[in-house]
Amino acid sequence: MADFAFQRQDESKVITSGTTQTVPLTCHGHSRPITHLGFSTALNSGSSSPQYYMISACKDQNPMLRDGITGDWIGTFIGHKGAVWSARLSEDATLAATGSADFSARVWDTFTGETLVTLDHPHIVRAVAFPPGQRPGVLATGGQDKKLRLFDISAATSAASNPDVPTNGTTGEACPSYEIGAGDHQGSIKSIIWTRDPNFLITACEDKTLRWYDLRTGRTVATFLLAAPPSSCELNAGLDNHPDGTVSVAAGKNVYFFSGSQPGQLLSHIATEREVASVALNGTTRRFVTGSPGDTWVHVWDYDSQREVETGKGHHGPVWTTGFSPDGKLYATGSEDGTIKLWKSAVGGYGLWR
């Protein structure tokens, strides 16, 4: 049984402001650098009281689940024996997936914290991804073995949804898998993005190449050569509320934005003066956030003018990962200092900033 419990944070900062410039909420608990974070979708979209969750990966081996609005700790997934490089939630937040330096990927039940399935790999797993939809039965993985794999996890996840069937964890041998694009990747797969169309999947590889795969044929339908190896690649809310979203990529001193529906279609390329470790876009407000390996600040940019408009200070180490909430009203940053900070991006009160 995983070490999983509920707890409120002791510090709840209540701030009243008419702008987005407010003191961020600090989420403690990790003991080493944060490597990746992400949000679930809004579980009650359209409601006046939004609800969503956030998951974080860390080099301390212990991914954590939190309330996405307040940052309150919900639970810690216990089981990995190495640094965790990637963590994602399914759309309905019932499942979590993690990729680790212990040569495995795991799928977890977010209600109990139990491991549903352990997928062994021949090398470090750097990326995991769920397809769109409720309680998915497939998981994509990639990493330093240079292989993109799809695992059928439906048996394990179906058993977990049935209270009459005990779940003690399933070995990867019970989950059929197959490789996509054999021989395509010439470096470690750093990130995997499943688009809103379940037939298309994107990989960001250390060989400086983005690849779009049509899973119906198992072949690439588009590629894009970046100026440097990618350091982050995420699917964000679409510009002008486009339902298919926008893909944001950080690579060297460059930020790229691609269409979420048209494979390989570049929307914007922004060359910056500093190295960019992470980038996340709020398509509604047309602003994006970056972190850099060269400073401890959070940089907020205007998408259209390509200029920095705000600087967030508070971290004590480089910001390696960033992400916007599903409603775009806050964003999270994870740092070398082992903390996650939540920053309000909405005008007026929101969450604990009311």
**Model confidence over 58-90: pLDDT tens digits?**
999 999 999 999 999 999 999 999 999 999 999
3-state secondary structure of 78: coil
Answer whether residue 198 shows pLDDT above 90. yes
Domain extent listing, the chain: 25-353
Q: According to the model, what pLDDT value does residue 5 have?
A: 39
Q: According to the model, what pLDDT value does residue 10 have?
A: 37
Could you give the percent of the chain with pLDDT greater than 70? Answer: 89
21 pLDDT band (50/70/90 cuts)? Answer: low
Could you give the percent of the chain with pLDDT greater than 90? Answer: 79
244 is written with which tokens?
Answer: 């298919």
Q: According to the model, what pLDDT value does residue 20 have?
A: 57
158 pLDDT band (50/70/90 cuts)? Answer: confident
Number of neighbours of residue 307 by Cβ within 10 angstroms: 9
Q: Are 34 and 339 in contact (CB under 8 A)?
A: yes
CA dist., res. 285 & res. 60, Å (int): 35
- What integer best gives the mean pLDDT of the chain? 89
17 pLDDT band (50/70/90 cuts)? Answer: very low
Among 298, 343, 337, 342, which residue's Cα sits nearest to residue 60? Answer: 337
Instruction: Give the H/E segment covering residue 159.
Output: helix 154-160
- Tell the residue number behind the tokens 């899973």, with chain if given: 215
Average pLDDT over residues 136-162: 87
pLDDT digits (tens, 9 = 90+) for 264-312: 999 999 999 999 999 999 999 999 999 999 999 999 999 999 999 999 9
Q: According to the model, what pLDDT value does residue 155 have?
A: 87
Q: Which CATH class is domain 25-353?
A: mainly beta
Q: The sheet that has 330-335: what strands, in order across it? A: 25-27, 340-344, 330-335, 319-324
Answer whether residue 118 shows pLDDT above 60. yes
Average pLDDT over residues 310-317: 95
Q: Are 74 and 23 in contact (CB under 8 A)?
A: no
Q: According to the model, what pLDDT value does residue 46 have?
A: 63
Nearest-5° Cα angle at 139, 189 to 267: 55
Q: What is the pTM of this model?
A: 0.89
Max mean pLDDT range (12-21, 157-166, 255-264): 255-264
Q: According to the model, what pLDDT value does residue 4 have?
A: 45
From 172-181, 224-233, 265-274, the region with the lowest mean pLDDT: 172-181
From 6-10, 85-89, 114-118, 145-149, the region with the lowest mean pLDDT: 6-10
